[in-house]
Chain A
Amino acid sequence: MVATTSNTVPVTVLTGYLGAGKTTLLNRILTHEHGKKVAVIVNEFGEVGIDNQLVIDADEEIFEMNNGCICCTVRGDLMRIIGNLMKRRHQFDHLVIETTGLADPAPVIQTFFVDEDLRDKIALDAVVTVVDAKHIQQHWDAEEAQEQIAFADVILLNKTDLVNPEELAELENKIKGMNKMAKIYRTQNSELSMDALLGVQAFNLDRALEIDPNFLSEDAHEHDETVKSFAIVESGELDGEKLNNWLSQLLQTKGVDIFRMKGILNIAGEDERFVFQGVHMLLDGKADRPWKEEETRKNELVFIGRNLDEAQLKEDFRQCLV
């Protein structure tokens, strides 16, 4: 999935509640003169106002891969429709998938990890979540609202004209507590530069950890939210086997609660950085560029999830050090 050859088509997954401004954003993407041919897959209630052969209606159809495990669900409709679309891929060079307001973004992402036909041809670019700054408060406790924020690489804090600056600052802090990996943009009418939306490459492993350095060094804040993000930073070398055992155990037992994870690791005996990222139980990793001479070799991991025991995870990770 993370192949970075030019043959792969980047995909943006667009989430957010009904009325948050997704359709406005879609129409912007479709009409903007960005020189890209964008194909858009909208859900059945989509109201994209543009007559365009590259706007395709889809029903969100969740297929279970493996006995009802949440981590093994995929979007059957996307496998079929994108399979059909890929037959003529020189006709479009970016794909945008809109999900319904009540959808969990995970099955969409997992489809691109799991499906053999898509994983080599599709490169997930970013999950973009549009948040209605005024109405999100009403939905704050809803699972799908938390998932949409937790999975995001880019968050549009939209309709900022409808709330006062204090409310906005508080909201932004709250979102940062849940997901510090995401870039947050304050917008009105979903107005945002296309560079910030398309071609973000947030899912590209080579850029997996372009994380705000402050985030990694910052002490974890205490939040009341059950969904939160935190980082583990440790110097030292990792025992490859111990790490493997820990990760597979972790994904098996906590996969449901881990929404996303990313990391750069220093494995004993390896000259290259090892980079990985995961969605629920699915993990994708590879050897990256060699460590530079002047570089301090260290391990950096970021977790976003629900009910994660940060202290325990940190302790378990330390046990993997040589």
Chain B
Amino acid sequence: MFGVGEKSKILYQQQWQGNLSEYVTAVIWSPDGILAASSAAGEVVLWQDGSLINLLPAGLASIDCLAFSADGKFLSAGGQDGKVRVWKISSDSLVENQVNLISTLDNTSKWVDKLSWSSTCNQLAFSLGRYVQIWDADTQTVVATLPFTNSSVLDLAWQPNGENIAIAGDGGVKVWSTKDWDDDPYLIDMPSASIVTAWSEDSKYIASGNLDNTVTVLEYGSHLPWIMRGFPGKISNLTWSQSLANHAPLLAASSMEGVAVWKKAIDDQDGWDARVLTLHNDKVQALEFHPNSLLLASAADDGWLGLWTKAKQVGQILEGAPHGFSSLAWSKDGQRLAAGGRDGELIIWSESKRGRGFG
């Protein structure tokens, strides 16, 4: 599985640890290196260089999703109470009076568990039952309500070039053009439900992880998707690697305790080749490629956070959440890694000087 020598390599070392009062539902970095984390007790905190600011205290309803706008100036949070909160961050470094709640969208009785900002403008998309709403931070208004119709929205993803937004649910993925919200969406039809969806960084490929234990990949614009099989259960996580010279990026997916990495064959007709990564013995809760290398991080209920060098071998195993990790995120520069745990652990590792050059 992995050599003893590999295991002792230090790629990242712990820099800071704190605690929220409950299961950490989301961790996310801003482009300025500010970390935001939320919990199932409804807490939202910001962290930078060891200082912590509480934006929301523990309460009764959970916060389940967080997102920073592409310019790092806005943070949004959604959760069980149906409220979508937006904070404006007026300075590059973390100063308490520079973070202000500017809007609360109240959607009583809907559980808002997916939200995401466009990477090209300050528009926020969030799930609202069978709909996705698009909220514009500049005008502070809802500019579009997109009806997914078939079922509740299970995931959403903006195309990195800003041209489209993909919405996943029962029956597949529907893709709306951001140029004309009223235009009919393009349907990537599937025999079961699409649970997670992700665009590659170059906006070329879209992947969908499905309820029927398959992954669908479409080169957007083509009409013939590839379908990958062989998973033990439904697909929980998808992540694309950075763009590669002369080659399609790698795609990693997790299903139950298993992780697999796909590499596209040179010829389209040969499809994609899979490599199975064996380490975890309980459900993988989070999976994310490093932003500018092929280092892959997998965090699982077994309390292990695996770092996979070149998306192949275990380079290092990080610990610190004995009852399981629940979430993870790489900082935009890749120098830091944050993870949350089932018991509220919040841990930050930073790139090790010793390890540099060997990853």
Q: Count residues of chain A with CB under 8 A from any CB of chain B.
A: 20
Chain A residues within 8 Å of B191, by CB: 64, 67
Residue B211 is within 8 A (CB to CB) of chain A in the complex = yes
Residue A221 is within 8 A (CB to CB) of chain B in the complex = no
A92-129 CB mask vs B (1 if < 8 Å, else 0) is 00000000000000000000000111000000000000
Residue pair B151, A76 in contact (C-beta under 8 Å): yes
Residue pair A59, B192 in contact (C-beta under 8 Å): no
Residue A216 is within 8 A (CB to CB) of chain B in the complex = no
A113 to B278, CA, bound (A): 26
Residue pair B233, A116 in contact (C-beta under 8 Å): yes
A116 to B232, CA, bound (A): 9
Residue pair B41, A88 in contact (C-beta under 8 Å): yes
A61 touching B170 in the complex, CB below 8 Å, given contacts A53-B60, A53-B80, A76-B151: yes
User: What residue in chain A is nearest B170 (Cβ atoms)?
Assistant: A63
A53 to B42, CA, bound (A): 12
Residue pair B192, A84 in contact (C-beta under 8 Å): no
User: What residue in chain B is nearest A57 (Cβ atoms)?
Assistant: B109
Residue pair A88, B170 in contact (C-beta under 8 Å): no
A88 to B64, CA, bound (A): 12
Chain A residues within 8 Å of B118, by CB: none
Residue pair B211, A84 in contact (C-beta under 8 Å): no
A263 CB to nearest B CB, Å: 27
A95 CB to nearest B CB, Å: 15
- B60, B111, B256 — most chain A CB neighbours (10 Å): B111
B13-44 CB mask vs A (1 if < 8 Å, else 0) is 00000000011010000000000000011000
In A263-295, the 8 Å CB interface with B consists of none
Residue B249 is within 8 A (CB to CB) of chain A in the complex = no
A-B contact pairs, 5 of them (CB 8 A): A63-B192, A67-B191, A80-B152, A84-B80, A116-B283
Where the two chains meet, the residues of A that have a C-beta atom closer than 8 Å to any C-beta of B are 53, 56-57, 59, 61, 63-67, 76-77, 80-81, 84, 87-88, 115-117
Where the two chains meet, the residues of B that have a C-beta atom closer than 8 Å to any C-beta of A are 22-23, 25, 40-41, 60-62, 64, 80, 109-111, 113, 129-130, 151-152, 154, 170, 191-193, 211-212, 232-234, 256, 283, 326, 342
